[in-house]
Amino acid sequence: MGIYSKPFVFAITATLVILIGTVATVFVPMFMPSTQPASGFVKPYTAIEQEGRDLYMREGCNNCHTQTVRPLRTEVLRYGEYSKAEEFAWDRPFLWGSRRTGPDLNRVGGKYPDSWHYRHMNKPQDMFAQSNMPPYDWMAANKLDTSISFKKTKVLGYGYTEEEVKQQIADYRSRVTAAGYDSKDTRDQVTPADLRGELTEMDAMVAYLQKLGRDVKSMEAKQ
Amino acid sequence: MKEDHGYDYSIVRGFAFSALFWLIVGLTIGLWIAFEMFNPALNITPWLSFGRLRVVHTNGLGVGFGMSGIFATAYYMLQRLTRTPLPFPKLAKAHLYVFNLAIAAAAVSLMAGMNTTREYAELEWPLDIGVVVMWVMFAINVFAILVRRREKQMYISLWYLVAMTVTVAVLYIVNNLEIPVTLTKSYSLYAGGNDANVEWWYGHNIVGFIFTVPVLAMFYYFLPKATGLPIYSHRLSIVSFWSLIFAYLWTGAHHLMLTPLPEWIQTVAIAFSIFLIAPSWGSVLNGYYTLQGNWDQMRSNYLTKFFIIGITFYGLQTLQGPLQGLRTLNAFFHYTDWVVGHVHMGTMGWVAMVISASFYYMIPKISDRNLYSIRLANIHFWLILVGQLAWTITMWIGGIQQGAMWKATNPDGSLMYSFLDGLTSLYPYYRLRFAAGVVYFIGILIFAWNLVQTVRQPAEAEASTTKP
């Protein structure tokens, strides 16, 4: 029973024992192509979509919403085509979630118009009286902070130049503040008057939700 | 028999009462979010919205309560089992302060929305560094005391503590590798499926090496102490230990069943999950057989029932876990409240019961006082037992119902229920769950009160000798 009277030998042995499964199921797969497939159809998030994604993380949306549709009959029927590995190539971190208090969001992009999301995020109970989702009306009252947007896309390796990021932000701003924006009325209703000409946190959140699953849908459309 | 071997018990007391504090905080938040589940009115401010508070609940109880309970009992067991005073008491004291500061900072930062979203690893990178520093402070005392020990053989509980010390370090560091953007924002080093695989390797094993391994250390130490009966089989505990720590690390991917993670990783995880029943039940049976011929202690010794009912929940937990990891059952249960019920049987049943009983044994002993009230301890036992059972069974039924509603189709093949139908059908269960949580919470308040009153009593030098 030598090992039980030699603490360091014991500790090293225990470490080796726990590392076997770790190496086999985590470290080795890390370098296998099957865990990191890439597809030309799956594009990185724009700076605004990434800001929305960061807000999704800040608010802990992943505690109630999953982002992975399983290959099950009723799941595909409810949410759309099941999720594929390559869709998440740019996701750092992954946001698959573990509990569906609310519905899965992996295919929510393009399912509803922006106005639907503005209204729903503002007060979910206005649309579904029985919903238990917290209201996020205050996100429309927060101006979007884009001061580190470029730095974020750089760390994430999206390959945008600083000018491209500025352009993305300016483009999205002119899109949602334009007189002809199809969701203008709803956006104006939920956004305080002094922020209607600016980008708000809610704008970024809507941009992110609309991106989810869009690339895969466009791939399917081409086939 | 007042003993004085120069053992440092102030650190034990410090961590024990920190554990009680974070337990009450974490359960209060738990009740708050349980209420939000059926009535969103409590999402008063962004800081109190469900998405932010849920992680304060899990971190507050898992780390705040669980870890400080583990540190309290570890510092006690380490000194007793090696018959050696703590080598660096000042370092341990600093560990206590750093720990509590880190938990407080963690709670505030999570409420402020600094959340990496990787479950049970939500803290941002400066706090991660704080956690690693804190862990090293603990590990130095662990290894130093083992080097200086006066007892040649290391008892089972020490194996579990050493395994926890090294494994948590590996898990935490590998999983939290992230690239900082600012002081309060970082991105994971891994992407997509890899990130998921690393995270659930961590997520599953951090639960294993915090809620199982050190709690088994307590069980193997405090059960014989509290009952006066030696552990039934040393050999069984050796086999259980090595097979447990070997098999655990393969199973993380059962949290990712039917996701885009490569299928072979999922299948390997299922196989090892089933294998894990053996070492888990090795410990359960070792506990049961220890009581062989002395089952009357379930009635006569208030501590025995905490340990035995606690290990029973561990046994049920380790049967339920592998079963719900099976692909077909997982397809039905995953993402429902069934899993929430599963987790809470382990934490509210197994972990809380064993830590409770360990504290009931340890606190009077290190304070030279008798327990304030055995009667209150019994009331505490029944309240947390009933509260936990009502809580978990309610969630299992809710989970079955939701799983069935998600899956139901009409004869024409279309979905029978909208998502909202499934959700709203759970509200009665959520109300019941809240009520069960209140019962449990009252039990815990009695527990805390009992221990506070114990140390507030005037010291009785003769306390131990007059004890029946």
Q: For residue A14, what are the domain limits?
A: 2-33
Residue B76: which H helix or E strand, with range? helix B68-82
Compute CA A123 distance to the chain's CA centroid, rounded to the nearest angstrom: 21
Asked if A58 and B115 come within 8 Å (Cβ–Cβ), the reply is: yes
Number of domains in chain A: 2
Residue A216: pLDDT band with limits 50, 70, 90: confident
Residue A220: pLDDT band with limits 50, 70, 90: confident
> By C-alpha distance, which of B1, B17, A33 is closest to B9?
B17
User: pLDDT for B35-90, tens place per residue?
Assistant: 999 999 999 999 999 999 999 999 999 999 999 999 999 999 999 999 999 999 99
Asked if A5 and B154 come within 8 Å (Cβ–Cβ), the reply is: yes
Query: Strand B178-182 to strand B185-188: parallel, antiparallel, or no bridges (unpaired)?
Result: antiparallel
A196 pLDDT above the threshold of 50: yes
Q: Are residues A198 and A168 in the same domain?
A: yes
CA distance B328 to B257: 10
Residue B1: pLDDT band with limits 50, 70, 90: very low
> By C-alpha distance, which of B159, B253, B118, B330 is closest to A93?
B118
B442 φ/ψ angles, rounded to the nearest 5 degrees: -60, -40
Please give the structure tokens belonging to residue A187: 């956006």
Beta-carbon contacts below 8 Å between A and B: 249
Strand partners, B464: none
Cis peptide before A93 (omega within 30 of 0): yes
Q: DSSP state, B182?
A: E
Any idea what the Cα angle at residue B338 is, between residues A61 and B241, rounded to 5°?
A: 100
pTM of the model: 0.96
Please give the structure tokens belonging to residue B245: 């720590």
Q: Are residues A12 and A108 in the same domain?
A: no
Q: Are residues A78 and A176 in the same domain?
A: yes
B7 pLDDT above the threshold of 70: yes
Q: Tell me the three state secondary structure of residue A99.
A: strand
Q: Are residues A105 and A28 in the same domain?
A: no
Asked if A35 and B194 come within 8 Å (Cβ–Cβ), the reply is: yes
Asked if A100 and B250 come within 8 Å (Cβ–Cβ), the reply is: no
Q: How far is A13 from chain B (nearest CA, A)?
A: 9
B432 pLDDT above the threshold of 70: yes
Judged on CB neighbours under 10 Å (0-12, 13-18, 19+), B413 is exposed
Pick B40's closest partner by Cβ from A7, A14, A132.
Answer: A132
Report yes or no: B81 and B151 within 8 Å, Cβ to Cβ. Answer: yes
Interface residue A9 vs chain B (CB under 8 A) = no
CATH number of the domain within which A45 lies: 1.10.760.10
- Backbone region of residue B335 per phi and psi (left: phi > 0; alpha: psi in -120 to 50; beta: other values): left
Of chain B, the percentage scoring pLDDT greater than 70 comes to 97
User: pLDDT for B87-113, tens place per residue?
Assistant: 999 999 999 999 999 999 999 999 999
**With contacts defined as CB-CB under 8 Å, which chain A residues touch B189?**
92
For B369-382, what is the mean pLDDT?
97
CA distance B53 to A210: 26
Q: 3-class secondary structure for B84-145? A: CCCCCHHHHHHHHHHHHHHHHHHHHHHHCCCCCCCCCCCCCHHHHHHHHHHHHHHHHHHHHH
> By C-alpha distance, which of B115, B106, B113, B122 is closest to B65?
B106
Asked if A64 and B51 come within 8 Å (Cβ–Cβ), the reply is: yes
Q: Are residues A12 and A84 in the same domain?
A: no
Report yes or no: B254 and B325 within 8 Å, Cβ to Cβ. Answer: yes
Q: What is the mean pLDDT of chain A?
A: 96
CA distance B450 to B355: 14
Q: Are residues A11 and A90 in the same domain?
A: no
Residue A125: pLDDT band with limits 50, 70, 90: very high
Asked if B167 and A15 come within 8 Å (Cβ–Cβ), the reply is: yes
> By C-alpha distance, which of B247, B161, B249, B267 is closest to B205?
B249
User: pLDDT for B316-326, tens place per residue?
Assistant: 999 999 999 99
Asked if B197 and A128 come within 8 Å (Cβ–Cβ), the reply is: no
Q: Are residues A151 and A184 in the same domain?
A: yes
Q: Tell me the three state secondary structure of residue B409.
A: strand
What is the residue whose two structure tokens read 């197994």? B350
> By C-alpha distance, which of B190, B150, B157 is closest to B174?
B190
* pLDDT computed for residue A175 by the predictor: 97
CA distance A194 to A180: 19
Judged on CB neighbours under 10 Å (0-12, 13-18, 19+), B233 is middle
Residue B3: pLDDT band with limits 50, 70, 90: low
What is the residue whose two structure tokens read 């064993």? B354
Q: Tell me the three state secondary structure of residue B210.
A: helix
Residue A33: pLDDT band with limits 50, 70, 90: confident
Pick B250's closest partner by Cβ from A24, A87, A88.
Answer: A24
CATH architecture designation of domain B242-468? Up-down Bundle (1.20)
Report yes or no: B37 and B90 within 8 Å, Cβ to Cβ. Answer: no
The residues, any chain, with a CB within 8 Å of residue B224's CB and separated by 6 or more, are B230, B231, B290
Report yes or no: B77 and B158 within 8 Å, Cβ to Cβ. Answer: yes
CATH number of B10-189: 1.20.210.10
Q: Are residues A125 and A218 in the same domain?
A: yes
Q: Are residues A140 and A181 in the same domain?
A: yes
Q: How far is A180 from chain B (nearest CA, A)?
A: 32
Q: Are residues A183 and A157 in the same domain?
A: yes
Compute CA A117 distance to the chain's CA centroid, rounded to the nearest angstrom: 15
B468 pLDDT above the threshold of 80: no
* pLDDT computed for residue B433 by the predictor: 98
Give the range among A38-42, B15-19, B141-145, B169-173 with minimum mean pLDDT: A38-42
Q: How far is B163 from chain A (nearest CA, A)?
A: 6
Long-range CB contacts for residues B146-151, cutoff 8 Å, separation at least 24: B146/A7, B146/B78, B146/B82, B147/A7, B148/B82, B148/B84, B148/B87, B149/A7, B149/B82, B149/B83, B149/B84, B150/B82, B150/B83, B150/B84, B151/B81, B151/B82, B151/B83, B151/B84
Pick B193's closest partner by Cβ from A21, A88, A128.
Answer: A88
CA distance A22 to A94: 20
CA distance A59 to B344: 24
Q: What is the mean pLDDT of chain B?
A: 96
User: pLDDT for A57-71, tens place per residue?
Assistant: 999 999 999 999 999
Report yes or no: A137 and A122 within 8 Å, Cβ to Cβ. Answer: yes
Pick A100's closest partner by Cβ from B116, B335, B408.
Answer: B335
For B425-430, what is the mean pLDDT?
98
User: pLDDT for A114-124, tens place per residue?
Assistant: 999 999 999 99
For A152-167, what is the mean pLDDT?
98
**With contacts defined as CB-CB under 8 Å, which chain A residues touch B119?**
98
* pLDDT computed for residue B4 by the predictor: 63
User: pLDDT for B435-454, tens place per residue?
Assistant: 999 999 999 999 999 999 99
* pLDDT computed for residue A38 by the predictor: 87
Which 163-222 residues of chain A touch chain B by CB within 8 A?
none
Q: How far is A136 from chain B (nearest CA, A)?
A: 8
Q: Boundaries of CATH 1.20.210.10 in chain B?
A: 10-189, 242-468
Q: Are residues A182 and A216 in the same domain?
A: yes
Strand partners, A217: none
Residue B460: pLDDT band with limits 50, 70, 90: low
* pLDDT computed for residue A2 by the predictor: 86
Q: Are residues A155 and A89 in the same domain?
A: yes
Compute CA A166 distance to the chain's CA centroid, rounded to the nearest angstrom: 21
For B366-374, what is the mean pLDDT?
96
> What do you get for the CA distance between the two ends of chain A, in Å?
66
Interface residue A152 vs chain B (CB under 8 A) = yes
B467 pLDDT above the threshold of 50: no
Interface residue A31 vs chain B (CB under 8 A) = no
Please give the structure tokens belonging to residue A203: 């704008």
Q: What is the ipTM of this complex?
A: 0.96
Of chain B, the percentage scoring pLDDT greater than 90 comes to 96
